[in-house]
Structure 1
Amino acid sequence: HPHPIWLLQLGEVTLASQSCRTAPSDLVFILDGSWSVEDTNFEIVKKWLVNITSNFNIGNTFTQVGVIQYSDNPVLEIPLGTHSSSEELLRDMESISYMGGNTRTGEAIKFADKQMFAISERAPNGVTKIAVVLTDGKSQDEVKDAAEEARNNKITLFAIGVGPEIKDDELKAIANKPPSTYVFHVEEYIVISKIREVMRQKLCEETVCPSKIPVAASDEKGFDILVGVDINKKAKRVPGSFATKRAYQVTQQVDLTEQTRNIFPDGLPPSYVFVATMRFKSPLTRENWDLWRIRALNGMTQIAVTLLGQEKSVQFSTTSTENGVQVVTFTAKLFDEKWHQLRLLVTEEQIKLYVDDQEIETLALAPVLGIYVNGKTQVGKYINKEESVAFEVQKLRIYCSPEQNSRETACEIPGIVSMMAII
């Protein structure tokens, strides 16, 4: 069953927590209903569809879901904006009947573009538009031009191929770039559940992570927290871990605070990578302070990365469906006044800490809630205080894709040579 929307009562004001569940988007599934699919496999697809969709709040201010089934011609099974609750939507998905026929994928993409997204009531509002194309065979019409026109109309296209008949070139022609993000291929319908969670994560990234961060030869969806708190205008630039690297000197007079909705307007995805490169000197090696934190309007901590100098440990706090907040603690190796890179891989079930590319520890996490974006996001503050700490920071980022964890290196730390650099 879908989770409820979690609410925070402040006097006469009620605030809803923000997450992928609540981010507004128009989401259309384009399902292959040709003869090669067969009715038993089509039933598997419907169950997969129900499982994916149950992760979103359905309604005019949240996610609207539409479904097209296609073979010789596209058929509008579920129009966008016709459901105000998950229960109604899921019931209609389960009642879709398999049609059979040929495979005209290009025509189905055109139909989604012109007859669904273009006439959506929310089209003028610039909501995120996503189409997921599921097919098991070579299209009998042209897909490249149809997909390109849809992308030109700001529709993000995912392509999922099932079985040995589908060609990767055709999936790549349908989907956005890079294929590593937008193309999936599974051996048969029975194993499509394997990509359910990763598909849910990818859909979430599209809705809550609109910005991109330049990384090496590509751009990664995410949030540059230092840009978000406007550090360029508030703190002095200083040499970083290398003379060629730029860092910032934060002092007690520098207040790195910003409204959360200006940095994370729709919350955070269920999995992400937090990366920080910093240096701090005595007495901070013995103090307890928040490197980064998000707080609700009532002061309740939503998320925090806390450095406990007295215990020489790193503490991660996040929301919890069980007790409101949960805290895990790692023993760390960054209390020696040198430059270090701290990296946290946060998933729905666990969190891993890395220091200078070395994996330190993995701890379990309970299910989390969305965050309240009406509060504030802060960098470099003493625990439970508004007072800033003095330290140097070079990088403070969140990458929305957990896959970035394996690509991120600590080459910016003196003396660290990563395996990526050796390769």
Structure 2
Amino acid sequence: MNIEQKIKIMDLHIIGGGPAGLAAGYFAKQKNLTFQILEGSSDLGGNCKTISFGEFMYDTGAHRFHDKNKDVTAIIKTLMGDELLKVNSPSKIFWEKRLVNFPLEFSNILKTLDKTTIINIVLENIINIFSFNKNNKNFKELSYKKYGKTLAELFLINYTEKLWGLDAENLNNKIAGDRLKGLDLYSILKTLFIKNNIDQKHLDGSFYYPKNGFGSIFNSLGDYVGKESISLNSNVVEIHHKNNLIKNLILDNNEDSQIKNLISTLPLNLLIKYLRPAAPKDILNISNNLKYRGLRLAIISLDLKSFSNNASIYYPQSNIPFTRIYEPKNRSIKMAPNDKTCIVVEVPCQPQDLIYNSSDDEFLDKIKYNLLKYTHIVESDIINSTSQKVPFAYPILDYEIEDKLNKLFNYLSVFTNLNLLGRSAEFKYLHTHNLFIHANQLIKNI
């Protein structure tokens, strides 16, 4: 039996060999389904790859694995064995040449801000308790309600607008995720009136991380799934349907694969674009206007043993082009030589932006200029640099997104053998444990 015949009788096809697709493959193998993962590129991992750069390794994002679900954690531990490290490395916000704990912690803020600002923060939070307005339509309203205007404007609004490229009042409040948990009037008053009180439970600096980079989780998943169930360089260009069923996929090499069940991890707009017959015009119009935020990374190797002690440092200032710096060596010492380190500098942008399309030299020169200006790095510390683009990094959730998504998902729900999985496909901000939970649910129903 040749490969083409094998593909035609599969129980399941999965489009995409990133974290979501591989999670689906894991549970499909557990259930003894016949399946094929179709990955368009030459590598697995999607936007969660670990890349070598001379003596250094780095991830295509500040990824880490949090112990949020005991079953998923057990799976990852079994896959990775002693390769999985428990790391404690909190994050910080760069503010007026100082570092503030992130997530925000009032005992730390108390040491950072002047008395007038602190009084304003306390008063605003007291007023919020007696405010009966529960209708937080957008991220700005939610931030004001949760933290008060002063604190929100200092640390949240500016960073959020920079990250997503939209004004805070145009962003859906769901983009907050876990960022607004844990700091409330109770914790503020406790810090003010109980001596030596520290908000340790609010800090989120403990996580799991593989010795050889976050991408090794997905390499291990690929090994578990097996090469025979993965087709690399397999770009889907058309998805044919009839009578409310996905019938077959056409690849860019003209291979035709018949479909019994399909899980798509494609960006939602691409999935709809590939449907044949084409989706109705109103659906196409909504889909074509969905936006994803991209990233451009500057990877800078340094002749320093360490850049900082933090997992990530956030930069909310609008005059600084990057939003975050992370140091792979603070996740695993194997990511850099003992006497050197490297940092990864994240710049959120759109594919049409000048900074996304500028040459590597222009982009890296701009980043280095700002690093020399706003960090302790001096020019002689820099060994080498390179650039990496990360498309479809985050779905942009504007304040009208829910109505748009409801229309798209209602349309797609008529296809009874189609399921969507993952951040880009479901158009929501998801973590690794979320992907595994949802993948398990989908496979159980096949």
Question: TM-score, normalising length from structure 2?
Answer: 0.23
**Larger strand proportion of the pair:** 1
**Larger helix proportion of the pair:** 2
Question: TM-score, normalising length from structure 1?
Answer: 0.24
**Higher relative contact order, chain-length normalized (CA < 8 Å, sep 6+):** 2
